[in-house]
């Protein structure tokens, strides 16, 4: 189970499984780009005060398990993760823009699911297995 946080008048443990795809499912998340993306994502999480518990990519999508507080709003987390990561990856790897029509890195859609103590280990295993598929 994710960490239980005790505050003044509240106790919580909130985890989400997040998934999103590259635009047009282009298979561009390999090697150096994948490593840089993971580094950027972890920095965004740190700056926004939530934790990346698990993260893995395949060539055209990313899975992560995050731990956050009740004050976090999922659409804002997604906006920060996708927007900042795209901007910084395009800055460091300008060749990506020529691989993607219209210069967008991410598909605008995403998947989010809450994680319970009963499903956490299954989701962690699933995220870790992304490279094996």
- In this predicted model, what pLDDT tens digit does every residue of 8-42 receive, in sequence order? 899 999 999 999 999 999 999 999 999 999 999 99
Chain centroid to Cα 69, Å, comes to 16
Active site (catalytic) residues: 126
Judge whether 125 lies within some domain: no
Look-up: residue for tokens 């993760």? Answer: 81
Q: In this structure, is the dihedral angle defined by the CA atoms of residues 100, 101, 104 and 106, taken in order, positive or negative?
A: negative
pLDDT of 1 over the 70 cut: no
The range of the structural domain enclosing residue 109 comes to 5-116
Judge whether 133 lies within some domain: no
* Higher per-residue pLDDT: 132 or 44: 44
Cβ atoms of residues 53 and 42 within 8 Å: no
Number of domains in the chain: 1
What average pLDDT does range 104-114 have in this prediction?
A: 96
For residue 69, give the CATH number of its domain: 3.30.70.1290
**133 vs 34: CA distance, rounded Å:** 16
User: Would you say the pTM of this structure is higher than 0.85?
Assistant: yes
To the nearest 10°, report the CA torsion of 122, 127, 130, 133.
Answer: 10
Residue 50: HSE in the Cβ half-sphere, 13 Å Cα cutoff: 26
Judge whether 124 lies within some domain: no
What average pLDDT does range 93-112 have in this prediction?
A: 89
């Amino acid at each position: 189970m994710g960490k239980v946080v005790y505050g003044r008048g509240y106790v919580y443990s909130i985890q989400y499984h997040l998934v999103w795809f590259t635009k047009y499912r282009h298979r561009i998340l390999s090697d150096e780009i994948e490593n840089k993306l993971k580094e950027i994502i972890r920095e965004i999480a740190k700056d926004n005060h939530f934790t990346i518990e698990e993260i893995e990519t395949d060539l055209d999508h990313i899975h992560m398990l995050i731990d956050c507080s009740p004050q976090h709003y999922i659409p804002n987390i997604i906006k920060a993760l996708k927007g900042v990561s795209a901007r910084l990856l395009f800055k460091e790897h300008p060749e990506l823009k020529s691989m993607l029509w219209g210069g967008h890195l991410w598909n605008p859609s995403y998947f989010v699911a809450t994680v319970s103590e009963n499903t956490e280990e299954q989701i962690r295993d699933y995220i870790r297995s992304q490279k094996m598929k």
